[in-house]
Amino acid sequence: MFCEIQMLSINQFRKEFDTKVLERGVTWEALGFYASDGSVYPFGTDTKVLSTVFESFCAPLILEIAENHKYTVVFAKQTIYPDFTLTPAGKASERIAIDVKTTYQENDRRIGFTLGSYTSFLRNGTKNISFPYNQYLGHWVIGFVYRRCEGVAAKVHELQKSENPTCPYKDVQYFIQEKYKIAGKRPGSGNTTNMGSILTADIEDLRQGNGPFSALGERAFEEYWRHYEK
């Protein structure tokens, strides 16, 4: 008997992701790079490095959820969008893009994210993207916010000597939301052509998707950024 695959919604993905985080007791804390000699080299607090750390935490969770729903997962090469492409069996035109984004917060200041270039795949559907842009039905963001720990020594630890290295970051929070719902109307970084998210001091604005395009819709988001500065 033929059974049609039920499309994975972001609400369902979010619920299953949250459940797996709780079941596995994921704290999002990593101490550093583990070398073959048993030494641990500290990460530091650089956002680019920690983005890779959080992406590594997410990968097995995403893969497990995808497999449970009969989706295949493609991991992107560096600088290619998105970090993960989920594809249902036999439905290449119904892919889901998942990007992992990271930033840190200090003294309750506003936070924001960059959401990809507006001069690449939005204008040229095959530029810097794993599959043609028009094959993606959903563009989701897993965003992480952390705080830096002060005074953590940048020293190598020897685990076999029962040392207790300290995680260089703390207070990790995350959200899962559709990209267009958290997008703002201004670039997200200096002189680059990156779309910016809304700026907020409260992560709940990102969890709830309180961006200006949330009410206008995804098409308005795409048209706005596709023609930005033109």
Residues annotated catalytic, as ranges: 83, 99, 101
**How many CB atoms within 10 Å of residue 175?**
19
Q: How far apart are CA 43 and CA 26, in angstroms?
A: 18
Cβ burial 82-105 (10 Å sphere, 16+ → b, else e): bbbbbbbeeeeebbbbbbbbbbbb
Phi, psi values for residue 205, rounded to 5°: -60, -35
Question: What are the CB-based long-range contacts (under 8 Å, 24+) for 20-24?
Answer: 20/61, 20/64, 20/65, 21/61, 24/61
**Residue recorded with tokens 């705080």:** 147
**Residue recorded with tokens 């992107």:** 76
Q: One-letter amino acid identity for 125?
A: G
The answer to whether the beta carbons of residues 43 and 33 sit under 8 Å apart is yes
Burial classification of residue 128, based on how many CB atoms lie within 10 Å of its CB (0-12 exposed, 13-18 middle, 19 or more buried): middle
Which helix or strand (DSSP H or E) is residue 23 part of?
Answer: helix 10-24
